[in-house]
Amino acid sequence: MASRIEPPLALLAEVTHRCPLRCPYCSNPIELDRASHELPEQEWRRVLTQAAALGVLQVHFSGGEPMVRRDLAALIGEASRCGLYSNLITSGTLGGERELQTFAAAGLKHVQLSFQDSTSNGGDRIAGLPRAHEKKIAFAKAVRAVGLPLTLNVVVHRQNVAGLAEMIEMAVALQARRIEIAHVQYYGWALANRGALLPTREQLDAATGLVETTRERLKGVLTIDYVVPDYYAVRPKSCMNGWGRQFLNVTPAGKVVPCHAAQTIADLVVPSVRDGSLADIWYHSEAFNRFRGTGWMPEPCRSCDRREIDWGGCRCQAFLLAGDASRADPVCSLSPDHSIIETARQEAQSLSHAFAYRHYG
């Protein structure tokens, strides 16, 4: 089997679940890994070395908030030593120019900075942290002062999508090279807040139209990546470009999964870097081979001419919504479970604004 499987392109290194923010759309697992269970520096160094040997080209340091780890600069340095392109995914609330200079000297190549809104009132309310927006603005300026390229990550939903134009202009003002505008994807904590976050069809259409016109206007100035919510799609997205095809994710406690949300699948036997090598896990583990390719697919996926385009859609979504990870992704209009999505869209027409905050602790 190994000869038929390409090596992964990227590793998402979730070095911690600790985070100062309380975002109601957090996609981390409901049960977070405690600090006492996190891989120590030496084990992360081994993971990075194995990732490079496996063929990984990029490592994305994420969390939680990766900057709570005092050894983050050392891990960035190890990634650089291994020849890995390193990217920091951060909330930008725990440091500034001094830390960024240290990271850049260690070999950091890029920063992705999350924003919850274009204003302090909206950003702080959604993040659940006073002065969060102010700190993010300062952090963004520090990224550019150090000379690192900057991408803004903006998660949009019913309660902030009206300010999307201002968020894009904020990215331009902060000299970001790219902005990733992603509608909330409903896993983890976000699923519990779906009623307060899922936009209406009218909101989605307005946002999509704005992105299309702004892309043309800012061509050569700002690259805009745009991810729509699955719930308004006719066919499912190619989640992670297919299960176990290009990406692997190592959790704070060392579990290795094909995607960020895979631990939500209750009967998935999840391997650990503490018990085996990344190469063995990537090529031979049940977790990575279970939904690889097309052989596992039920109908209507098995006969669909898009089966090697969307690879059956999202397995985590199938499990969370239909109770079985091997079923067709309910977002597909051909899925026998599509009525679940239709019901959720109807509920989004209400004007619910209350959401439950996430917190570490």
Distance CA(234)–CA(164), nearest Å, equals: 24
Could you give the C-alpha distances from 7 to 3, 55, 274, 282, in angstroms and in order? 10, 6, 21, 8
Classified as helix, coil or strand, 223 is strand
8 Å CB contact between 317 and 187: yes
| Residue 341, both tokens | 């999505």
Q: Is 23 annotated as a binding residue?
A: yes
Distance CA(335)–CA(123), nearest Å, equals: 37
Distance CA(28)–CA(116), nearest Å, equals: 17
Paired residues of 11 in beta bridges: 59, 248
8 Å CB contact between 190 and 197: yes
- Count of CA atoms in the C-beta half-sphere (13 A) of 17: 24
8 Å CB contact between 345 and 201: yes
- Count of CA atoms in the C-beta half-sphere (13 A) of 260: 20
Distance CA(102)–CA(108), nearest Å, equals: 9
| Residue 230, both tokens | 């699955």
The annotation places the binding site for [4Fe-4S] cluster at: 19, 23, 26
The annotation places the binding site at: 19, 23, 26
